[in-house]
Chain A
Amino acid sequence: MTAIAESNGLWESMYQGRTAFVRYWAYIGLMLGAVGLAMFGGDGYTENGYIFQLVGQDGLMWLGTGALLGAGLAIGASMLRPEMIDGYIPKMMVSWFDGGALMLVLMGLLTLLEPTAAMVSYEDQTNLFAANVIMTMNVLFLFSAICYIAYLFAPDSFIGSMATATAWAALYAGGSALLLRWYESYLFMDGEIGHAPVSNIYEVFILLFCIVTIIYLQWEKRYEAKAMGAFVMALVAAGVFFSIWLESVGQAEIKPLVPALQSYWMKIHVPMNFVGYGAFAVACGAGMAYLTRMWLEARNSKMVRVFPSLEQLDQLAYKSVAVGFPAFTLATILGAAWAAEAWGGYWSWDPKETWALIVWLVYGAYLHVRISHGWHGKTLAWWTVIAFLVTVFCFLGVNMYLAGLHSYGRLS
């Protein structure tokens, strides 16, 4: 997940061999420790108490034990069977975990800039620090989008590296800002209203930017598809303007959760959904790049050489859908599970649910025509673009225009 991973010898050794392998299992142990704490430790899982257990003595014990056990087992296993070290998954995943850990550290540093508890109140949230970090993120994203677009016109200059670097910076700003907001939600009303930062449309928009960016950057890193960035990051930039508007109408405030949202399901269902939405956005960006390249080819434009090949863009759109579709399926199922627990039925034909189904069917049909009918190219590029419009309606339009049970994220 780190941008500069390839270039430097020390970095490289961090992501190879035993170091990476053991670290990977330590992270896994840490996470299992957190699950163990929720299920068996301390006072068990409660909506508000759990996070304090995590940072308290119980947390230290469970997470620490988990991490040590994970690392120990990994060392043992790698002694016995050295070939395990070269496994594909640990090598790939460890950089993601490192990225997450780095965001946590950043967040910890940012809390030092937070005003004292006496200076913030629920009634007046204007001096909370996360807003500044989010504004920084907004600026970085906009700058990155401009650089990516400029890159199309000036491919050989250093604008391209600048675009990528700011995208990474914006990603880290966004991720740590969300974590900081989580921390901030505990600052007033005696911590009564603390909750994960996925409770309203403003917060999930930030999450969405981060997810779109990270998926895109993976493609960029692996397939050198930088021209696609102009389209993907333009979508993100549009989202940034929307979220600035949201903030200006008072949607950015930290508000308590209504009882229906006080559930751990929210913390899994919502982010998972946005992995789906984010991947579909990237697919849309790839589709737009495809269509643009075709258009440029038709006019014999020289700009074509900046773009990845049509074949490659087509593949990247499909890859993005292949990431988004299972995530979206899982998210919908998790939503059904939550509905079963909160409302007494897993499916109510509520507009939000129904639109999720529609989105699912649209991408399901996409997979059919592509995989079995062997369709490719222009039609499917249009398909990803239009399907994304349907997706946008599902996560914005439904809240704005259709009434339903999902009080969540309604714009007032």
Chain B
Amino acid sequence: MPAMSNSTDYLKPILLRLGSMSLAITLLTVLALASVIGTVLLQNQDQADYLQQFGPIWYWVFRSLGLFDMYHTWWFLSLLGFLMLSLSVCLWRNVPRFLKEMRGSKVALSDSAMKHMKYSRHWDLKGTSADNVLLVAKERLKEWRIREEQRGDVSYIRADKGKYHKWGYICVHSAMLVILIGGWMSVQFGFRGNMNVGVGSKESEISFLKGTSTEYMKMPFEVRCNDFSIDFYPNGMPKEFKSNLTIIDDGKEVLTSDIIVNEPLYYKGVRIYQASFGDGGSNIHLKLLKLDGSGDIDSAEAKVYTTFKDEATGITLEMTDFRPHNVENMAEAGKAKDFQDLGPSVDFVMRGPGLKPVKIRSFMDAFELNGENRGNFMQVSFSGNTQEFESVALGLDMSNPQEWELLQRFIVHLAGANLKNQQKANMQAFKAAMDDVFGKDKRPDNFQAMAMRVLQAVQVIPRLPWPYIPVLDDYDQKYYTGLQLAEDPGMNVVWTGSALLVMGLCIMLYVSHRKLWLIVRRKGNDVSISFVGLSNRNPLNFDREFNEILSLMDDDMQQLKKGDAV
């Protein structure tokens, strides 16, 4: 026996401490501070980036504290666990007490308690019966919850409003417990991962980050993407992403449906969300315009994410992305916007013996400015960084092979010319080139514009350091749709807790427990009356409320004094 009581003696202070308010405040503060770290330090990035950013020592320190995936570290989770423990203890300690208080609060009020009341008033009435006073008072307080008690010469009336205030405390604190339990259930029994499905293909595995590594999980069904489409606003912003999906369960097609962002699909407890999209391996066809003087045009074909290798020169083109639209605002800064679609483009990295690797975005269509054809252009990043793309205006409209031929002939004739006057030499060389390409003295329409383009091209093209210029020629586009799949058995628990939380908060903050006492003492034929009040919340309003009742009560008492009872 003694041993046991000893152990509870030890436990009691610990429990008291665990369920205490100071601990609650400390926990809330620590949790807030810890959460800040995770928002300042980008989570779940590439480890190499972290290393570069912080240097080896801090990288090691941060890594061992788990700060790169902070919200899943043992210490952060224990903090949450500790919070749950503390909440439970505090509920376990307080709820029975509160329930008891709500059920049976005393009607009678001791004299010492009465002295401490902020609101009080006394009347002495002669020649009135106590019963009369009680009757009048009860009529006045009919909107209040009234209880009465008689102790010898003294009658007590106690009136309550908002007695259920304490339920607010109970709701709020148990709601937090419920939400934390829901969250734990989500983590423990739920999953959430990504699945990229190319148009026309199917997939049944999701991938997700666990700590800092990627893991995979098989779904109990397959998802096929039949179609993916994007709707654009006229300014090029995406308006809607839509996937048409078929769920295949056990080899049978069970469900076909469209999904868009904010409207997921639900199957077998799993929600399927439209999360992202990307190029699903579009087929790219490039023209290779040779710069060796031959004027030949080769071609190259590759899918996005694959590499085209040219055996003859050893050059490789690694296709990284394809975009069917490039909408840009072509207006000058400060002017009204002018959105133009520059057409399809392909991104690739060109590498080769003796070449610096460059990143190129090659556009298929000629660029038009104020209705004038300015020829094709491409964006080139000589550093390999897409932030540093610079535009290279090729000048020629590559959709017309004759322009390319014209340029070749022009270069040949220009080399042959030995006139001092640059302008004249250009004129002559261009004439000769025209004759070569179109026949003597035959000229296509618009050949002046063509001349302008060739003059531009001759400034740029011969200076490019590559054996050829790759220009996007044709494509067969294919998207993949980026889906997110999630199952979350804790979600409804969390919603339940949330509802409880909001409800509890409203009770806790807006229902104040107001108490009034009327104490009537008989002294022979006279009565002495005290009226006192107390509120646990919102003194400004109680001020008003008490004074209102008081003045009415005062009127009542004056009436009684005059003797004209009810």
Residues in chain A within 8 A of chain B (CB atoms): 121-124, 126, 189, 192-193, 223, 255-256, 258-260, 262-263, 265, 311-312, 315-316, 319, 322, 325-326, 329-330, 333, 336-337, 340-347, 349, 351, 354-355, 357-358, 361-362, 364-365, 367-369, 371-373, 398, 402-403
Q: In the complex, what residues of A have CB within 8 A of residue B40's CB?
A: 402
Partner of A368, one of B28, B38, B237: B28
Counting from the closest, the 4 A-B pairs by CB-CB distance are A124-B336, A259-B261, A351-B39, A344-B486
Please state if B502 and A330 are interface contacts (CB–CB under 8 Å).
yes
Asked if B337 is at the interface (CB within 8 A of a chain A CB), the reply is yes
Please state if A344 and B502 are interface contacts (CB–CB under 8 Å).
no
Q: Tell me which of B24, B260, B262, B485 has the highest count of chain A C-beta atoms within 10 A of its own C-beta.
A: B262
Q: Across the A-B interface, how many residue pairs have beta carbons closer than 8 Å?
A: 134
Please state if B539 and A315 are interface contacts (CB–CB under 8 Å).
yes
Closest to B39 in A: A351
Q: In the complex, what residues of A have CB within 8 A of residue B501's CB?
A: 329, 333
Partner of A345, one of B29, B488, B506: B488
- Asked if A358 meets B261 with Cβ closer than 8 Å, knowing A345-B192, A347-B183, the reply is no
Please state if A358 and B540 are interface contacts (CB–CB under 8 Å).
no
Q: In the complex, what residues of A have CB within 8 A of residue B31's CB?
A: 361
CA distance A344 to B259 in the complex (A): 13
CA distance A122 to B183 in the complex (A): 44
Q: In the complex, what residues of B have CB within 8 A of residue A255's CB?
A: 235, 237
Please state if A192 and B273 are interface contacts (CB–CB under 8 Å).
no
Q: In the complex, what residues of A have CB within 8 A of residue B235's CB?
A: 122, 255-256
Closest to B193 in A: A344
CA distance A403 to B238 in the complex (A): 21
- Give 27 pairs: A residue, B residue, CB < 8 Å, sorted on A: A121-B336, A189-B234, A256-B239, A258-B237, A259-B238, A259-B260, A311-B539, A315-B540, A319-B540, A322-B509, A325-B509, A326-B502, A326-B505, A330-B502, A336-B498, A340-B491, A341-B263, A342-B261, A343-B275, A344-B271, A344-B273, A344-B486, A349-B43, A349-B71, A354-B38, A365-B25, A367-B509
CA distance A330 to B499 in the complex (A): 9
CA distance A337 to B326 in the complex (A): 34
Please state if A123 and B337 are interface contacts (CB–CB under 8 Å).
yes
CA distance A329 to B39 in the complex (A): 20
Q: In the complex, what residues of A have CB within 8 A of residue B505's CB?
A: 325-326, 329
Q: In the complex, what residues of A have CB within 8 A of residue B32's CB?
A: 357-358, 361-362, 365
Q: In the complex, what residues of B have CB within 8 A of residue A355's CB?
A: 35, 39
Task: Give chain A nearest CB distance to B173 CB in angstroms.
Answer: 11
CA distance A77 to B291 in the complex (A): 91
Q: In the complex, what residues of B have CB within 8 A of residue A322's CB?
A: 509-510
CA distance A315 to B235 in the complex (A): 51
Please state if B262 and A342 are interface contacts (CB–CB under 8 Å).
yes
CA distance A349 to B40 in the complex (A): 12
Partner of B28, one of A258, A336, A361, A398: A361
CA distance A255 to B502 in the complex (A): 34
Please state if B485 and A344 are interface contacts (CB–CB under 8 Å).
yes
Closest to B263 in A: A341
Closest to B272 in A: A344
Residues 325-339 (chain B) with a chain A CB within 8 angstroms: 331, 336-339
CA distance A143 to B261 in the complex (A): 44
Please state if A341 and B25 are interface contacts (CB–CB under 8 Å).
no
18 other contacts beyond A123-B337, A259-B261, with CB at 8 A cut-off? A192-B239, A193-B233, A256-B239, A259-B238, A260-B262, A315-B538, A325-B509, A330-B502, A333-B501, A333-B502, A341-B263, A343-B484, A344-B192, A354-B39, A358-B35, A358-B36, A368-B28, A371-B537
Asked if B21 is at the interface (CB within 8 A of a chain A CB), the reply is yes
Task: Give chain A nearest CB distance to B85 CB in angstroms.
Answer: 18
CA distance A193 to B233 in the complex (A): 8
Task: Give chain B nearest CB distance to A157 CB in angstroms.
Answer: 27
Please state if A345 and B237 are interface contacts (CB–CB under 8 Å).
no
CA distance A358 to B30 in the complex (A): 10
Please state if A333 and B39 are interface contacts (CB–CB under 8 Å).
no
Q: Tell me which of A256, A316, A319, A355 has the highest count of chain B C-beta atoms within 10 A of its own C-beta.
A: A256
Residues in chain B within 8 A of chain A (CB atoms): 21, 24-25, 28-29, 31-32, 35-36, 38-40, 42-43, 71, 183, 186, 192, 233-235, 237-241, 260-264, 271, 273, 275, 331, 336-339, 484-486, 488, 491, 494-495, 498, 501-502, 505-506, 509-510, 537-540
Please state if B29 and A365 are interface contacts (CB–CB under 8 Å).
yes
Please state if A123 and B336 are interface contacts (CB–CB under 8 Å).
yes
Closest to B483 in A: A344
Partner of A349, one of B38, B192, B261, B539: B38
CA distance A316 to B488 in the complex (A): 42
Q: In the complex, what residues of A have CB within 8 A of residue B336's CB?
A: 121, 123-124, 126
CA distance A319 to B510 in the complex (A): 10
Q: In the complex, what residues of B have CB within 8 A of residue A329's CB?
A: 501-502, 505
Q: Tell me which of A122, A126, A265 has the highest count of chain B C-beta atoms within 10 A of its own C-beta.
A: A122
Q: Tell me which of B39, B43, B484, B506 has the highest count of chain A C-beta atoms within 10 A of its own C-beta.
A: B39
Please state if A344 and B38 are interface contacts (CB–CB under 8 Å).
no
CA distance A358 to B29 in the complex (A): 9
Please state if A354 and B35 are interface contacts (CB–CB under 8 Å).
yes
Q: In the complex, what residues of A have CB within 8 A of residue B338's CB?
A: 123
Task: Give chain A nearest CB distance to B499 CB in angstroms.
Answer: 8
CA distance A343 to B273 in the complex (A): 7
Q: In the complex, what residues of A have CB within 8 A of residue B263's CB?
A: 341
Q: Tell me which of A319, A325, A358, A398 has the highest count of chain B C-beta atoms within 10 A of its own C-beta.
A: A358
CA distance A194 to B240 in the complex (A): 14
Please state if B510 and A263 are interface contacts (CB–CB under 8 Å).
no
Please state if A361 and B29 are interface contacts (CB–CB under 8 Å).
yes
CA distance A239 to B186 in the complex (A): 40
Q: In the complex, what residues of A have CB within 8 A of residue B192's CB?
A: 344-345
CA distance A347 to B319 in the complex (A): 36
Closest to A397 in B: B39
Please state if B261 and A262 are interface contacts (CB–CB under 8 Å).
yes
Please state if A192 and B71 are interface contacts (CB–CB under 8 Å).
no
Task: Give chain B nearest CB distance to A350 CB in angstroms.
Answer: 8
CA distance A70 to B410 in the complex (A): 85
CA distance A262 to B494 in the complex (A): 24
CA distance A92 to B235 in the complex (A): 46
Task: Give chain A nearest CB distance to B561 CB in angstroms.
Answer: 29
Please state if A122 and B337 are interface contacts (CB–CB under 8 Å).
yes
Task: Give chain A nearest CB distance to B483 CB in angstroms.
Answer: 9
Partner of A344, one of B25, B233, B275, B537: B275
Closest to A328 in B: B505
Partner of A223, one of B38, B239, B241, B540: B540
- Asked if A345 meets B36 with Cβ closer than 8 Å, knowing A123-B336, A259-B262, A329-B502, the reply is no
CA distance A365 to B505 in the complex (A): 14
Q: Tell me which of B339, B488, B509 has the highest count of chain A C-beta atoms within 10 A of its own C-beta.
A: B509
CA distance A341 to B43 in the complex (A): 23
Task: Give chain A nearest CB distance to B340 CB in angstroms.
Answer: 11
Q: In the complex, what residues of A have CB within 8 A of residue B240's CB?
A: 259, 262
Please state if A341 and B262 are interface contacts (CB–CB under 8 Å).
yes
Task: Give chain B nearest CB distance to A309 CB in angstroms.
Answer: 11
